[in-house]
Structure 1
Amino acid sequence: MTTPTHAQSTAEVYLQTWNARGADRARLLADHWTADAVYVDPLGAATGHDGLADLIGGVQQQFPDFVFQPVGEVDAHHRQMRFQWGLGPAGAPPLIVGFDVIVLADDGRIADVRGFLDQVPS
């Protein structure tokens, strides 16, 4: 069962992973994601720590000065959670907004993520 506190901290770690680089990102993936974690959104898909690291690195290359930040509250039940995030320049309103659904493994680590894009600049 996912508590509100655990859901909030998982969302924070999730966004930290998307903002981290190099060894910090590898550590976050190893500590908070299952080895066979799956990520799928309209623009890409990845499996496992190496695949996730490559996908995240590609997003960071595409948007080098942008950061992921939470938008709104985390909603959770059982081992599932959903929340909205924003991507944009630090300290500015996000230019891209998405919505992710995370399923946690029995040990509380991130096992599966389904991402949706709500706002994308034309």
Structure 2
Amino acid sequence: MTDFAKIVERYLRIWNETDPGARRAAIDELFTEDVAFVDPMASVSGRAGVDGLIAAVQAQFPGCGLALLGGVDGHHEQARFGWEMGLPGRPADVVGFDVVTLAPDGRINQVLGFLDRVPA
């Protein structure tokens, strides 16, 4: 049985990793080469696309981190989870949820993101 909570924990850790080399190494381990990431603000493919997107979000929201909001719900090869992004000790600037699907080898091959709250 897939441990979706551990996969999501790794996913969030990647979003919070500010060292480019460490982030890219973690992306290469967790995501397939042809991963697709789509949300209302971005659509990228491949590991380099995911890495570039995360770097851009970190540049736009310096010091902010992603945290799990609620639990992880998964079945078969897909999971959904809520998250929030903000500065520590302050209300979250961005809130949303993602759905990830897994390839047969257990790595993430698709992320579908939904944004519930974004800054004006």
> Does the TM-score normalized on the shorter chain lie above 0.5?
yes
Distance 1:99 1:27 in 2: 24
Give the letter for the 1:72 counterpart.
G
Equivalent pairs, count: 119
Identity over the aligned pairs, expressed in percent? 44
1:28 corresponds to 2:61: no
Superposed counterparts of 1:74-113, under 5 Å: 74-113=72-111
5 Å matches for 1:1-122? 2=2, 6-21=3-18, 22-122=20-120
Flag structure 1 segments of 5+ consecutive residues without an equivalent.
Answer: none
- Alignment-mate amino acid for residue 78 of structure 1: H
Query: TM-score of the superposition, structure 1-length normalised?
Result: 0.92
When the two structures are superposed, what TM-score results if normalisation uses the length of structure 2? 0.94
Rounded Cα–Cα distance in structure 2 between residues aligned with 1:36 and 1:92? 36
Paired with 2:91 and 2:82, the residues of 1 have a C-alpha distance of 14
Q: How many Å separate the matches in 2 of 1:19 and 1:74? A: 18
CA shift digits 1:47-95 (9 cap, x unpaired): 1111111111110000011000100000000000000000000243322
